[in-house]
Amino acid sequence: MKNELKELAVSLFDIDVVKFGSFKTKVGLETPIYIDFRVLIAHRKILKQISRALWKLSSDPDNVQQICGVPYAALSMADVIADDTEKPMIMRRKESKNHGTKKLLEGVYAAGDKCVIIEDVVTSGTSILEVVADLKNEGLEIIEALVIMDREQGGRDNLEKSGVNIKSLFTLTEMMEYLLSADKIDQSTYDKVIDYLKTNKASVKIQEEEKKNTRLTTDFLSRSKLAKNPLAKKIFEIMNEKETTLCLAADLTSADEIIKLAEIAGPHIAVLKIHVNIIDDFSQIFIKQLKSLSLKYKFLIMEDSKFGDIGNTVSHQYSKGVYKIAEWADLITVHPVAGPGIIDGLVAGLNDISEERGIFLVTEMSSKGALTTGSYIEQSLSMGDNSKLVVGHVCQSDLFKNPGMIQLTPGVKLSKDSDDLGQQYNTPESVVNCGADLAVVGRGITQATDKISAIIKYKDQLWSAYKNRLS
């Protein structure tokens, strides 16, 4: 295959896929060489040759059920491979549509399908990782990524550390060696590119940018200054001051039991979450007691109604009826399924309320087989970005980068587990490493014999994981 690759390298040079000069890569690295495979759409013979050579790298071609090309340059190669093998092809959009089905992935596929990703050039690996995340959100299994050119700047390491197996036709060094031996470039051009590779690694560049930009390595006090919602700012400040990221789910049916639990948990929690419509003996006296404890111990009250109706209905559900939730709940949870109108309805429900309020959008759920995947997640994140009422997202993974927003993650237990009704639990360390700022613990505390010991144990483990995440 070496001779075949050398001929391909020369062909690519002859049609100006390989360019020398001064360029900048996607991740911001200056480079003396640029590889532009988009040119191949005008050279069908070479396109087919390189696509077929790429498919020879497949480790298990018979068990591949889907081909997915990374947009846009790799789409033409993926199309050739799909046509040759008669396998279906998936196209992952760079952005979801804002009309029609609003899908991010185009094609016919099913959860569990085994997929191979096709890419033209890997520098940092971020483009492939973005595609992997979207495919996994739809339930597909990633076998490997087949790449024409590995620029040897850290992308392979980034992908393999993320569990993505990668195979490439060429490394940049191999490409330069083929061109030098074919007298397509001189020794000084070869030396310039090889010297460049020794000192310019995309993995280092990415790590530096992530350290500067990601919310996961920024402390709560710094992030409080970036929050657009005053209540989000307050949550950050409470977590920082009390050194706790614990949201206690007091999903109990007795008002007295909730008050007793809040009394012992109050000093150790940032938020107390309840389901008001399951309380058998609800009264305004209960609300008055709960508000008094929240002021005494500096925690916020969240009503977990998960509003999910049209705007006019949720406006009444929020502000009227027996519960009058808007009058006492600092925070509520909201399903974005009804679209932006649901936020408008909640804003209308606050017309007579002077206190600060905030909502968490249920962007991703912890239950097995949840339908909160793909474009649903994209649209929910977009709704959050466009509303000052949103303090953050309920989700299981690091879905957003805005440091002024809060990730609320439910389903936390000291050991990984699940219940008989599909709820899946993860450890404090794992949820924090997956982006959780505020972690919801329920039965791990409410069903504990020694509740105060359980509260402190969860508080300490979560806070330790947060501090480790910062470093």
Marked catalytic residue, from 309, 344, 398, 417 = 309
Residue type for position 345: G
Residue 447 marked ligand-binding: no
Residue 33 CA to residue 151 CA, distance in Å, equals 10
Marked catalytic residue, from 6, 114, 291, 306 = 306
Residue 329 CA to residue 126 CA, distance in Å, equals 40
Which of 411, 415, 465, 418 is CA-nearest to residue 439? 411
Which of 127, 164, 103, 115 is CA-nearest to residue 374? 103
Known catalytic residue: 16? no
Cβ within 8 Å of residue 209, ≥6 positions away: 27, 28
Residue 251 marked ligand-binding: yes
Known catalytic residue: 467? no
Angle at 275 between CA 274 and CA 278, to 5 degrees: 130
DSSP-derived 3-state class of residue 205: helix
Known catalytic residue: 385? no
Query: Is the Cβ–Cβ distance between 123 and 155 less than 8 Å?
Result: yes
Q: Give me the long-range contacts of 126-129 (CB less than 8 A, separation at least 24).
A: 126/26, 126/27, 126/158, 126/206, 127/26, 127/70, 128/70, 128/155, 128/159, 128/164, 128/166, 129/158, 129/159, 129/162, 129/164
Instruction: Tokens for 135, please give them.
Output: 């495919």
Residue 398 marked ligand-binding: no
Residue 428 CA to residue 179 CA, distance in Å, equals 53
Query: Is the Cβ–Cβ distance between 4 and 53 less than 8 Å?
Result: yes
Marked catalytic residue, from 304, 330, 413, 437 = 304
Residue 101 CA to residue 87 CA, distance in Å, equals 24
Q: Which residues are annotated as a binding site?
A: 251, 273, 366, 423, 442-443
Q: Which residues are annotated as a binding site for substrate?
A: 251, 273, 366, 423, 442-443
Q: Which residues are tagged catalytic? A: 304, 306, 309
